Amino acid sequence: MQLTELAQLFTQLGGEFVQPVEELARRAAGIKAVVFDWDGVFNNGSKGEGATSLFAEPDAAGTNYLRYGVFVAQGLMPFTAIITGEHNHSAFQLARREHFHAVCFRFPRKREAMRLLGEQFGVRPEETAFVFDDLLDLGLAQICGLRLMVRRSASPLLAHSVRQQGLCDYLTAHTGGQHAVREVCELFLGLTGVWEQVLSDRMSGAERYQTFVHHKKTATTRYFTYTDGRPVEQPPA
């Protein structure tokens, strides 16, 4: 699919290319890591006593397709992590099941979590795609290579400021409760030109896809939190 056709498809959906689609494609080609915020991204951010913020299966599948797309395009397993300010059991569950490399939870500042990921895993912000939704994420968005912001119609001032200050490259059509993660994952596959290959390999169970699954399953999720003013590695309770 040509980039102009891709842009038209996602614009008709309601997505907004804050940067030209050609620029997004250029940035996507160099991405080696993907970091997701949790609340407001995988869900609508609802909280309450005894409640947990959930995730949807289409979004989880999308993260798998995105990772395979990087594997196809670059021949490497992309580093994948969740950074959240809260203690989210569903985030831990998804990360374990999908063999994400890390979860950083209860971090007051996401930029500090990124610095930790650089120290522990060699992750570089300029090679990272960041999927986010709110003001507390902007410090990290400022330094990442590809910034994909989840839309929330109740935050028009935030969206305006993010556009004006160049803090995101694409604003989703869908919200966190409407499979926004799946949207950005498919967008990424279109930008990198591997969607048709991912579709074909996944449908046929190609040998390359089986190799990817094997490599993915070798990853053990590591957990980091913020205690006594410093980051520590600590499994969630």
pLDDT (tens digit per residue) in 34-93: 999 999 999 998 887 766 789 999 999 999 999 999 999 999 999 999 999 999 999 999
pLDDT of the residue at 224: 97
pLDDT digits (tens, 9 = 90+) for 106-157: 998 999 999 999 999 999 999 999 999 999 999 999 999 999 999 999 999 9
Give CA 50 to chain center in angstroms: 27
From CA 52, how far away is CA 87, in angstroms rounded?
9
Q: How far is CA 210 from CA 69, 73, 204, 206, in A?
A: 13, 16, 10, 6
Query: How far is the first Cα of the chain from the last one, in angstroms, to the nearest whole number?
Result: 46
pTM: 0.96
pLDDT of the residue at 51: 64
State the CB neighbour count (10 A cutoff) for residue 163: 14
What is the per-residue burial (b if ≥16 Cβ within 10 Å, else e) of 26-60?
A: ebbeebbbbbbbbbbbbbbbeeeeeeebbbbeebb
Angle between helices 180-191 and 57-74 (to 10 degrees): 20
* Token representation of residue 47: 């909280």
Half-sphere exposure of 126 (CA within 13 A, CB side): 1
Residues 6+ apart with CB under 8 A from 187: 6, 10, 15, 148, 170
pLDDT digits (tens, 9 = 90+) for 88-113: 999 999 999 999 999 999 998 999 99
- State residue 38 phi and psi, 5-degree precision: -110, -75
Contact status, residue 111 vs residue 140, Cβ threshold 8 Å = yes
pLDDT of the residue at 16: 98
Q: Please say whether the structural domain 3-225 has been given the CATH code 3.40.50.300.
A: no
- State residue 223 phi and psi, 5-degree precision: -120, 135
